[in-house]
Amino acid sequence: MNLSQSLPAEPGLPEQPKVLLVDDDEVNLLLTTIALRERGFAITEATSGEQALKVLAGWVPDVVVLDALMPGLDGFESCRSLRGMPGFESLPVLMLTGLDDDASITRA
């Protein structure tokens, strides 16, 4: 599965917000993970839309960050599938992408 679960929250401190980060690119995944961990988020990584949906079948994060352009199930399709899953209708989803055309932004 190539998932790397983050460290649990320290005792006595409020639970860290749980983020499912989905990006197929190693560099972007690494940098985004480091940046978010630096800010106190607990990160679970997935490298594809399919993998993210499998993770979500047994676990609910506080927010999902999706890369838009991925091979296989891309960010848009992943988001659509996620919204169709019971309990995920209103889960916050952020689209993280370098696509800067108006159509992609509107679609996201």
The site for other proteins (CB under 8 A) is made up of 24-28, 30-31, 34-35, 38, 69, 71, 98-102
Shortest distance in whole angstroms from residue 89 CB to other proteins: 30
Q: State which residue, 35 or 60, has the beta carbon closest to other proteins.
A: 35
Nearer to other proteins, 23 or 56 (CB): 23
State in angstroms the smallest separation of the CB of 79 from other proteins.
18
Looking at beta carbons, which pairs linking 52-59 to residues 24 or more positions away fall under 8 Å? 52/20, 52/22, 52/78, 52/82, 53/78, 53/81, 53/82, 53/85, 54/1, 55/1, 55/3, 55/20, 56/20, 56/82, 56/85, 56/88, 57/85
